Structure 1
């Protein structure tokens, strides 16, 4: 962003009042690109411009496009939240979380016009003579219903032409595991097959109870007529339906009406998974794929505000896989939207925690499928290796960045990309121990030295691993230029490792420009794939280091502020911080909970309880 424009926005943000309201970011053409709400407008809006260098990728990109902003003052933070939701739905700003309702109608297709009909799901009605049930809004529910029906009545799912192919070839595996009646082998008469189809249609229309009642009556009638073989087949059909119903109870809940929401991400994308539970049973499942989100608490709150509306009312309970910001405010908003009480819960154990975990696993599974490495990723890694003159493809890349505030609170972050994808389990954080003041080169030497010492120790002890400190990286990328490379190269040589090291250079707008080597710079903008990968690595390591710095500084500020309370010294402040983790939890603690912390007394807890509410 242009420094003059940034200064102009900083000055304008300082003129805002410390009142709740909504702020509206616009680009040079006057288009609204972001809408947000704030408890105190000046404090919230100024953070965008006064802390520009500290933002992660998506926020920084939004701020770079801001030309001016407007604001609307409200009487309360809740009114600001309601207005924000209304304006976002109206204007659909580019950088807000927007959920597209792209669900079309779904149908159940039954080819009753054929001699051997089949049942399957369909996206639209064709003029093909088939019978269609529907429409249904949920593709999940349609596929589940079709799957249950064909399994319960042993109907085929293959594409064979039974009239033409009957008696030819072997039946498929489904026949041998008793999930297909094998009309291809002539194992069932056409009359009995069509009876199964009719029962399956009744099952789809009426559900379990009605069809079970009919099948039991039919079985008893056949048994009385001594048609034991057919009666046995219907008995097996009844058992199959009951088995399916029992299976349904696995995904069931004592809480009859609720939505379970979870998210997962890989540094590139974030998937929100919504399990819709009605009548105690999982009735639908929805999935929303968004850009990578760094702040999960804020993302959960924004997603929920976008997901629910007067046309999609929230159920009495919303179960989450993790904490969300402004939970009380969110519950108030959802309660007003629904016209009845709505609770937002984050379960830690039991049935509800298991449901949240199941939703999260489904979200992670979708991310894993998206992250499955295609051939183009291998091509990009090959191009990167050739560009840097490496002898082989850099499968395992480590990247480092230093973060501090005017030389204080210095920390470092290490991120790992394996096969071109973030490997978050291998990320590491470092607190600088040997360097005083602001010396990025010395800090980088310390961090890389400590990492290589752990690698040498692992090799000496025979504890090499597939990831983490026990694996030797194929490439090290530093967030910096030639000076950083020159500072770190001797450390690598000192440990006797042959690990190529390069820097990632930014332009004056904080965007990746080139790769720095000892002898100069290597341009990467000619290869779109390499440029994108290196930019992603640089943004991710910067985000990771900055987030750790903010966390450590927040803990220090937390502890420092507590020492202002009567009877709270450094030791008690540290114990309270360790126990409650956040100021919000501390503020909401009872006197008994405060007194239970190590080093606290009942009188100190009582005094602190009053001080927290007065301050």
Structure 2
């Protein structure tokens, strides 16, 4: 229901000044439901109360609930940004992007028992265990404890010691040298506790110091001819060095770096933050946000909300795309940190690779909500950017025409939903408006019939099958096919992107074409593979339908022969494959076909050898 106060609110908005400021939307109960900023208050606020056709669903819902609004004029756009962040943090309005500051503290837990265990927990418990911490980064605690257990061979299973000594065989961790296997009963408690103490030193202090101490112990053991213990220290040193090398996954030449990437599908958004310090990933966070309309706005608002809740701000922040008002955002972050902060969208090198990794993680988190993989969502996002689409093409329809020298003219339609074939939505078409070979005319007819079916489904209230519009149409063909279909789509009044898929001389997919230009696919490996799969699938489906039609026609001609029904005609086609082979077959060969008798075979032979 449209807001009855829309005209009144628009009149009030038109009286606003053309100055920077913050506007505050309230509902009928006086609650603040949205806070925004504007370079020119009049222009921005009046847009909300004009035509609702251009608004997204989220904005329409918000406008329907607005009863009144207030505004605060500021001296500059930068003051706008600061005031907006402060007010949003204070009032947490319903329609703003909000992040919960749920970064609780994490602890390292050391059990209070002879055979101590190390683990990470989010809360302390009154259980007599020792807790080391607190730590702000749960990712750091989790990964560090896992590293310590692997390096020093501490068990992570549920077996109890000494109750389970000798009851079980050592698990896989023992065989890959990640556990000393106290379950065998062969490990002395003294040696086990030394491992625990080494692990605690490693977790509590400088790993370089722990490494030096282990090397000293190895030297002492070797000089005392205790080669077994020296080998034990040697293995721990090797494990520590291997783990330390593994941790240095990046060479960014920066003391501090945050990498931020966002992913969006329909109205759901995901934002991932990877935090690096001294070339090492020390924290990772992911957020799922509802009611996302625009990716640039989502990224911009997320950065403001995220660093409003964080005290640790790095000197460099790498982003996966543009944001609004980057200069003032940099200035706000710099003042909050007390040092210069740089925002960038890397185009090459290590930071670009980190951004891509971060974006894949954002899509992975989003994909889990829909039961698909992040890789599938990522390839759709790549295709969206490649084709310049407004949104991710979740629902793709692809068409191909198949005939044999102009005969048995048919078409196949395949559907891919979230980058996977949706075979229940596949459809077959027989070309009806003409005979002969005309791929352009055939494609135009098929799309006309498909869009007419959509209109019928809408009238009947059906939203599945033909009642659902595709986000993208891909045709097996070039500019000619695209040019034949675009007028059909335009005449329907619908806005559906249409592209063709062209092959090279070796019948391999090489590019996507519009009615104006050709887009190379090979540099975009994931998109190339995906589009190739679609083209191969629609081609297979259309040719399969064409073959079925030919067999049906051949079978119906055989049914004119006395004694040959549908079943025998089908068996003859299956056995001889073509009418020509049947007509050239001898009487004895015809009798060998499944289900054939001598009289039936004689009738078939006489039918094709009438002159003889």
TM tier, smaller: 0.5 to 0.7
- Cα deviation, residue 292, structure 1: 4.4
Structure 2 residue 367 is matched with structure 1 residue 368? yes
Aligned to 1:132, what secondary structure does the other structure show?
Answer: strand
Structure 1 residues 179 and 496 mapped into 2: Cα distance closer, same or farther (>3 Å)? same
**Residue in structure 1 matched with residue 60 of structure 2 by the alignment:** 60
Instruction: String of CA shifts for 1:397-427, please: whole Å, max 9, x gaps.
Output: xxxxxxxxxxxxxxxxxxxxx99xx976787
The answer on whether the counterparts of 1:109 and 1:130 sit within 8 Å (CA) in structure 2 is: yes
- Cα deviation, residue 147, structure 1: 0.6
Instruction: String of CA shifts for 1:555-600, please: whole Å, max 9, x gaps.
Output: xxxxxxxxxxxxxxxxxxx9xxxxxxxxxxxxxxxxxxxxxxxxxx
Aligned to 1:302, what secondary structure does the other structure show?
Answer: helix
d(CA) in 2 for partners of 1:360 and 1:87?
Answer: 30
Structure 1 residues 540 and 34 mapped into 2: Cα distance closer, same or farther (>3 Å)? farther
The gaps in structure 1 that reach 5 residues or longer are 375-417, 432-450, 477-490, 505-514, 525-529, 552-573, 575-615
- Cα deviation, residue 540, structure 1: 9.2
The answer on whether the counterparts of 2:416 and 2:422 sit within 8 Å (CA) in structure 1 is: no
- Cα deviation, residue 474, structure 1: 4.8
- Cα deviation, residue 164, structure 1: 1.7
d(CA) in 1 for partners of 2:75 and 2:225?
Answer: 80
Structure 1 residues 35 and 234 mapped into 2: Cα distance closer, same or farther (>3 Å)? same
- Cα deviation, residue 455, structure 1: 4.0
Structure 2 residue 204 is matched with structure 1 residue 259? no
Aligned to 1:245, what secondary structure does the other structure show?
Answer: helix
The gaps in structure 2 that reach 5 residues or longer are 389-395, 404-408, 427-442, 473-489, 498-515, 517-612
**Residue in structure 2 matched with residue 192 of structure 1 by the alignment:** 191
Aligned to 2:162, what secondary structure does the other structure show?
Answer: helix
- Cα deviation, residue 327, structure 1: 0.9
Aligned to 1:272, what secondary structure does the other structure show?
Answer: strand
Structure 2 residue 174 is matched with structure 1 residue 229? no
d(CA) in 2 for partners of 1:453 and 1:302?
Answer: 37
d(CA) in 2 for partners of 1:539 and 1:338?
Answer: 47
**Residue in structure 2 matched with residue 301 of structure 1 by the alignment:** 300
**Residue in structure 2 matched with residue 281 of structure 1 by the alignment:** 280
TM-score normalized with structure 2 length: 0.65
d(CA) in 2 for partners of 1:352 and 1:424?
Answer: 20
Instruction: String of CA shifts for 1:335-372, please: whole Å, max 9, x gaps.
Output: 22222211111101101111212211221221122221
Structure 1 residues 3 and 131 mapped into 2: Cα distance closer, same or farther (>3 Å)? closer
- Cα deviation, residue 4, structure 1: 4.1
d(CA) in 1 for partners of 2:219 and 2:152?
Answer: 18
- Cα deviation, residue 265, structure 1: 2.5
**Residue in structure 2 matched with residue 400 of structure 1 by the alignment:** none
**Residue in structure 1 matched with residue 341 of structure 2 by the alignment:** 342
Instruction: String of CA shifts for 1:530-562, please: whole Å, max 9, x gaps.
Output: 9xx999x89999xxx9xx98x9xxxxxxxxxxx
Structure 1 residues 453 and 79 mapped into 2: Cα distance closer, same or farther (>3 Å)? closer
TM-score normalized with structure 1 length: 0.65
The answer on whether the counterparts of 1:117 and 1:194 sit within 8 Å (CA) in structure 2 is: yes
1:13-92 correspondence runs (5 A): 13-92=13-92
d(CA) in 2 for partners of 1:314 and 1:430?
Answer: 36
**Residue in structure 2 matched with residue 403 of structure 1 by the alignment:** none
**Residue in structure 2 matched with residue 317 of structure 1 by the alignment:** 316
d(CA) in 1 for partners of 2:421 and 2:126?
Answer: 60
From the CA coordinates, give the structure whose radius of gyration is larger: 2
Instruction: String of CA shifts for 1:25-80, please: whole Å, max 9, x gaps.
Output: 11111111001110011111112122421112212211121112111111211111
d(CA) in 1 for partners of 2:100 and 2:71?
Answer: 26
Aligned to 1:52, what secondary structure does the other structure show?
Answer: coil
Structure 1 residues 37 and 209 mapped into 2: Cα distance closer, same or farther (>3 Å)? same
d(CA) in 2 for partners of 1:430 and 1:120?
Answer: 48
**Residue in structure 1 matched with residue 129 of structure 2 by the alignment:** 130
The answer on whether the counterparts of 1:23 and 1:37 sit within 8 Å (CA) in structure 2 is: yes
Structure 1 residues 206 and 470 mapped into 2: Cα distance closer, same or farther (>3 Å)? closer
Instruction: String of CA shifts for 1:177-223, please: whole Å, max 9, x gaps.
Output: 11111111234222111110110011111131111111011101100
d(CA) in 2 for partners of 1:365 and 1:470?
Answer: 16
Aligned to 1:53, what secondary structure does the other structure show?
Answer: coil
**Residue in structure 2 matched with residue 454 of structure 1 by the alignment:** 399
d(CA) in 2 for partners of 1:169 and 1:471?
Answer: 46
Structure 1 residues 499 and 469 mapped into 2: Cα distance closer, same or farther (>3 Å)? farther
The answer on whether the counterparts of 1:34 and 1:96 sit within 8 Å (CA) in structure 2 is: yes
The answer on whether the counterparts of 1:107 and 1:121 sit within 8 Å (CA) in structure 2 is: yes
d(CA) in 2 for partners of 1:351 and 1:426?
Answer: 23
Aligned to 1:164, what secondary structure does the other structure show?
Answer: coil
**Residue in structure 1 matched with residue 393 of structure 2 by the alignment:** none
**Residue in structure 2 matched with residue 578 of structure 1 by the alignment:** none
**Residue in structure 2 matched with residue 172 of structure 1 by the alignment:** 171
d(CA) in 2 for partners of 1:126 and 1:469?
Answer: 46
d(CA) in 1 for partners of 2:447 and 2:289?
Answer: 43
**Residue in structure 2 matched with residue 109 of structure 1 by the alignment:** 109
The answer on whether the counterparts of 1:21 and 1:74 sit within 8 Å (CA) in structure 2 is: yes
Aligned to 1:58, what secondary structure does the other structure show?
Answer: helix
| Runs of 4+ residues over 3 Å off in structure 1 | 422-431, 451-476, 491-504, 537-541
**Residue in structure 2 matched with residue 486 of structure 1 by the alignment:** none
d(CA) in 1 for partners of 2:32 and 2:412?
Answer: 58
The answer on whether the counterparts of 1:171 and 1:182 sit within 8 Å (CA) in structure 2 is: yes
